[in-house]
Structure 1
Amino acid sequence: MSETVVIIGATSGMGLATAQLLSSEGYRVIISGRSQNTINKALSQLTGDCTGFLLDFTDSASVNDFFVQVGRHDHLALVGSGQAAWGNFRDLKLQDLKTAFDQKFYGFFLCAQAALGTIRSNGSMTFVIGGASRSAIGGTTGVAAVNGAIQSMAFTMAKELAPLRVNLLSPGLVDTPVYDWMTPEEKVDFFKKMGGELPVGRVGSPDDIAQAITFLIKNGFTTGAILDVDGGGRLH
């Protein structure tokens, strides 16, 4: 019987690429989305045994309902993100930081806790955080705080919940729809400039992240680890 992977935040970008890769390798994939339209659009781009359920991961009742529908599963990948608290520390607004914690940190917390009733005891959880918590980048104090909190939580979870494996993935700059507010020309120029400053000479793709998440799911000897997939960005 194929293993089941639940992906929180798989209707676009890195999450969708992960769902595409895992389903192509024979995994049963369950995705979440905030609307049925986004779920249906994502499912239309997937092959194999894939289903999707509505989820608002900031709402505990919605999270509990979601995992009741999911049932038994082997792996959980938390890829979704909420509203980020951008800005220099001097100008950071408390409400923006609270909102960021309410969405991503507490959303990940609620999903991970709710999954414990149905996930395989020696399966895995993978938290996707962000490069801002792995190096000092101006204007990202709030983002670093939220993702750093997830990082600290996951380390202890890996010890408390063993043999369940708990890992973190920290992507660098990745070309995803989050940058679609730019014109196509602006995006090309931006990614060319930023990628040119990295040791690998380019920015990341959703497929790069999908391969890394798949590694963490498959490798049974990896837990309590952070995998930096950032093109060498932390070396700056």
Structure 2
Amino acid sequence: MKNQAKAPYSLNGKKVVLLGGSSGIGLATAKAAAEEGAQVVIISGNQQRIDNALTELPEGSQGYAVNLTSENSIKNFFDTLGGFDHLVYTAGENLTLNLIAQTDIEQARTFFNVRYWGAFTAVKYASPYIQPGGSICLISGTADARPGAGWSIASSICGAMEGLVRALAVELAPIRVNSVVPGVIQTALWDSMPETDREGLFKAMEDTLLLKRVGQAEDVALAYVYLMKQQFGTGQNITVDGGTVLV
């Protein structure tokens, strides 16, 4: 009886689908879930990244190339996949940070395609297949609560995601819907920045953050594992930022 009581809080034997799972936070979460005994399925738009990521995951892990800007591609994937337990969405292309006066509006619109609309579409077509006790975990960022100059698009996307989480938690109940809100995390997300700017950003984080270091993908992955395993929190945006919003 004791083991049965603990079973709902385990990822052992659960099927976890990670969109954006071939690199960065998504891959770190796939590894962490697999270590807990989950069967992981990683999704990306890039087959080469999927193949590379699968070499870092346990045997039996699966990976599929899916165009996350295409509604039909997302729908067809989930219709083919069938039932599973947890959806994790961390996908997003590198953002370009610009002051509003220098922002290309058409380019700015495209940043919502994968980060917001891709997540929205994935939830639409994945939610009917989520097993009882399962969950949806999205991604936001501290740019919503603590933006800097040039962060208007990033802040807008993060704010939109956090509002979406609360609305979906109400609409899709009893499926749990939450998000993780990372601060600056040292991943390939920042590769579009010139190297000197990127290193300057990381150095500034080390100097000012309460924990005196830049976050790693593995730090954030632990929050996703928690959100999948816990059974009584929904509509929450969990901050993992080294103290970003406090300084």
- Both proteins in one fold, TM over 0.5: yes
1:83–1:103 CA contact under 8 A, matched in 2 = no
Q: 1:141 matched to which residue of 2?
A: 152
Does 1:228 pair with 2:239? Answer: yes
Does 1:161 pair with 2:172? Answer: yes
Between stretches 30-39 and 10-19, larger displacement belongs to 30-39
2-structure distance, mates of 1:187, 1:136 = 17
Consecutive unaligned residues of structure 2, counting only runs of 5 or more, are 1-11
Out of 207, 211, 216, the position equivalent to 1:196 is 207
Tell me by how many angstroms 1:42 deviates.
Answer: 0.5
CA deviation profile, 1:98-143 (whole Å, cap 9, x unmatched): 1112221111111010102211243110111121112232211011
Q: Which amino acid aligns with 2:126?
A: A
- SS at 1:123 equivalent: strand
Q: 1:173 matched to which residue of 2?
A: 184
CA deviation profile, 1:51-105 (whole Å, cap 9, x unmatched): 0111111101110122123221110010111353521223322212211122211
Cα 1:131/1:213, change in 2 over 3 Å? same
Alignment of 1:60-71 (within 5 A): 60-71=71-82
1-structure distance, mates of 2:193, 2:110 = 24
Q: 2:4 matched to which residue of 1?
A: none
Out of 8, 20, 34, the position equivalent to 2:45 is 34
- SS at 2:143 equivalent: helix
Between stretches 121-130 and 158-167, larger displacement belongs to 121-130
- SS at 1:191 equivalent: helix
Identity %: 31
Tell me by how many angstroms 1:154 deviates.
Answer: 1.3
2:94–2:190 CA contact under 8 A, matched in 1 = no
Tell me by how many angstroms 1:48 deviates.
Answer: 4.4
2-structure distance, mates of 1:189, 1:156 = 37
2-structure distance, mates of 1:48, 1:189 = 39
Q: 1:112 matched to which residue of 2?
A: 123
Between stretches 189-198 and 5-14, larger displacement belongs to 189-198
Cα 1:29/1:56, change in 2 over 3 Å? same
Out of 92, 95, 108, the position equivalent to 1:97 is 108
1-structure distance, mates of 2:213, 2:112 = 31
2:84–2:131 CA contact under 8 A, matched in 1 = yes
Consecutive unaligned residues of structure 1, counting only runs of 5 or more, are none
- SS at 1:108 equivalent: helix
- SS at 2:92 equivalent: coil
Cα 1:192/1:82, change in 2 over 3 Å? closer
1-structure distance, mates of 2:90, 2:49 = 16
CA deviation profile, 1:173-199 (whole Å, cap 9, x unmatched): 111123346798986665233222100
2-structure distance, mates of 1:45, 1:129 = 26
Alignment of 1:42-53 (within 5 A): 42-53=53-64
- SS at 1:82 equivalent: coil
2-structure distance, mates of 1:20, 1:119 = 21
Say how many residue pairs are matched. Answer: 236
